[in-house]
Structure 1
């Protein structure tokens, strides 16, 4: 007996913002905070919390720096994060296809 595909879901991606953030950070794409905020149509606070949560899990890394004199934060997914996200999406697909 095989287990239900829901067991392949990762709690880290259970919120729409964290799921959308990982989808936006494909492969080695590094995006700045402002671009992510606009793309995901969310507030600074919500995005910051989502990035922080995924960073604690090792799914996202951030780099802080400056463009001119303005502070900037860039985010990118890690190899671990991309693998976890692919497993999560595969589980969603299996569930949607009637897996079980």
Structure 2
């Protein structure tokens, strides 16, 4: 991938929304899966599919735990994911300006 190309993992509209939402969190913070699902207005299955693709790329991590007997999943942007999103936004901004990064 050259600098002028947008990261295809992030460039999908749904995954871009996921990554942008996670990037808005403070570094090291995570969000509960149901909260992320609600914010993005996505079905659980759709969100899971996109999270799996982002996780395969090393951009997000999911932590599965329990609150008592209730399972809970938390999602966070990894350091690599944050760096990829920053590169993506720089590239997109430059492309929109009509310049090469």
Q: TM over 0.5: same fold?
A: yes
Please state if 1:66 is matched with 2:69.
no
> Which residue pairs with 1:97 in the alignment?
97
> Which residue pairs with 1:21 in the alignment?
18
Cα-Cα RMSD: 1.4
Which structure carries more relative contact order (alpha carbon 8 Å, separation 6+)? 1
For residues 76-99 of structure 1, what are the alpha-carbon distances to aligned partners after superposition, in whole Å with 9 as ceiling and x for unaligned? 011011001100011110011111
> Which residue pairs with 1:32 in the alignment?
32
Q: Please list, as runs of the form range in 1=range in 2, the aligned pairs for 1:42-53 lying within 5 A after superposition.
A: 42-53=42-53
Q: Per the alignment, in what secondary structure is the counterpart of residue 25 of structure 1?
A: helix
For residues 41-64 of structure 1, what are the alpha-carbon distances to aligned partners after superposition, in whole Å with 9 as ceiling and x for unaligned? 111111001110010111101100
TM-score, normalised to structure 2's length? 0.87
TM-score, normalised to structure 1's length? 0.88
